[in-house]
Structure 1
Amino acid sequence: TGGGEDLAGRLRDALVAAATAAGRPDPVTTILTGPDAATTAVEAAGLGPDDTVVNGITGSVGLLPTLAALRSGARLALANKESLVVGGALVRQSLTRPGQVVPVDSEHSAIAQALASGRHEKGLTSAVISERSEVRRLVLTASGGPFRGRSRAELTGISAAAALNHPTWDMGPVVTINSSTLINKGLELIEAHLLFDVPPAQIDVVVHPQSVIHSMVEFTDGATIAQASPPDMRLPIALGLTWPRRPDLSGLVAPNDWREPISWTFEPLDSEAFPAVDLARSAVAASPTHPAVLNAANEQAVAAFLGGGIEWLDIVEIDAAVLGEHEGLASPSLDDVLAVETWARTRADELIAARNGGIHS
């Protein structure tokens, strides 16, 4: 599209400027645009085990580039959680070696770092696969979003502007809305289950408004290892590029100042006001294709909310309604997953249209 070409041109200019400042030749010959651009670029790059592909695409369109990157043998620094949510088994089947996936989401990066304190030789991130594990449970932290502390009754009439006002993180609109409903945390629970091969029943979610503890691992001896750092995505992104070595970010990101008074709080998740995490648990328990349905329906509902077509509370209600109509497939192929996604989007759009008529009638 024209917009994509404009962004590609700006990206090329920025990369050329950075290369010039570093005294290096122009690093870019072509920047591709369009829905298949990322997959085409990965397949044409001639990648191998010494290369790293970063997938930071938002949405399930990131699945095909993820599969292409893994098949190439390159290491995958994965920020596109939807790849795993939608095609978990397909991602596992595309691995060419243990430890090929490095998580970039702050929560999953934190878990990967904490796991280094014990033995957990299973999952997509482990370089050794023996199924041995000293992990008792994973604890994902959530900021709680802009509406933390509100009851269900207090969540009516939410505007897009209010939902986009995240108290901690600066993110794109879709991820920010997902954070406000906590569907993002539900998707992250599914991602953690698939990344680390830990049963969903052993993955907890707690609210931590300060967003300093990014997640925790509780081991079988009762010890809990937590990863703490400022809420700055440059840290997990940089670590994803250099893993398992740590990059030197001195002068770029200020660490926590432990000499200053500070308070951290942790709260239980209010599942009545924010049912999205429980919905994600039910999806991953139902079948391999239920998470894909949940994600597809949610993408349609979020777009409708941002466009003024439905209410904020409608988002998760539509997700649940579409999820409840899906029968599930036990061993889906890629074509099956794509077909399920198409059905879920169509069904979500039908429910959105029905509610849209109610709003504007």
Structure 2
Amino acid sequence: MQGFSDFVIRVRNSAPPFVRNAIDRTIAAERGPIAWAKEKMLVREDVPAVASPRTDHEVRLLITPMNYAGQGREWARSLDAAEVEAVNLAVLTARTFHSTADTSVSAAVFAASREWRSKQREALPLFTHVMIESFTSPLGRGTGDVVRDDVAWLKTRNVRVALLCHGTDVRHPNEHIATHPFSPFLDLSASSLERAERSASTNARIAADSGVPVFVSTPDLLVDVPNARWLPVVVEPDRWASTRGVDAAVPVVMHMPSSGPIKGTAHADRAAEILVGEGIIEYRRLQDVPAERVPGHVGDADVVIDQLLLGSYGVAACEALAAGRVVVGNVDDAVREHVRSVTGLEVPIVQADPESLVDVLRGLAADPVQRKRIAARGPEFVSQIHSGVRTRAVLADYLDTAG
């Protein structure tokens, strides 16, 4: 059965748009032999509770269904208040399995259980607001164009809908390549590049045509979705706070990629090898570390290398900044300017790309006073922008609440 599923996915991905749409809508079918067969093949567990409001607050928000880096839960947590109930639902995938969520559902149940879908459909209109992440159906009906139907259906039930973009769902690879000499999309095959471009274009059209508020989790995505508003990612400052200094004679440089090709890990490794050979840094490259141990590892570093290819910053960088570490990364001038114009603060990430990384790290290693000065700016930056304090203000118009 897995072979058949893989075959269907390959056919779908290589097909022209009208065929892809037909396949998507067939897979999204909730009745008939396809729905029955899908459920029989995939669902091997009891159906869990669905997301539903727990209060009768005037505003009842559901953020669903991806919860990348636990952000659905973090945004909900930062909104929950006397007059607002905010909860999230997360599909458990390889990218979200270890993230905390208010309600979770396995990928198999989400995609194939007719019972779960029926119950979740009954519960959705009990919310006053539903924020849909990454153009993924809140009813497990697929991604892309099927979300148009979900948005329309929720509107008929007087639910206020918003769309939330996380990254690859709307980032246009060809434009990124044209404007970023180290773009990770340069390494994609022609067919993979075409699929990524096609998916981003579809989702961007949905965002433009939906008539609902659109938000992006990182400022660089405003290039791809100009009608959106930046909703800053959220971390818990207290969880990441560290009392360790960053002035070691031989600084510890750490890199912990969630995705090596996207983060530019090969470039970080090469630069570190040179400097370790010179005896001026200690390098720690960590992967697959249990979530509860990550703050300790970050706090033990002097310098943290974030991503070197995309031109933005996200959750991992904010966690290291909150820990008072020196963060090195590749952040576009336009991203820095947008953050400055919106918040009045400078992004305290030391600029570096694959070509300049060795020199940047060498300079930081030689100057502990500079490291201390840079690192000191991180916790305040996170406290002012990425602690959740801005979530309510950014979403005030959408939620009809005071900012």
The normalised TM-score by structure 1 is: 0.32
Higher relative CO (CA 8 A, sep ≥ 6), structure 1 or 2? Answer: 1
The normalised TM-score by structure 2 is: 0.29
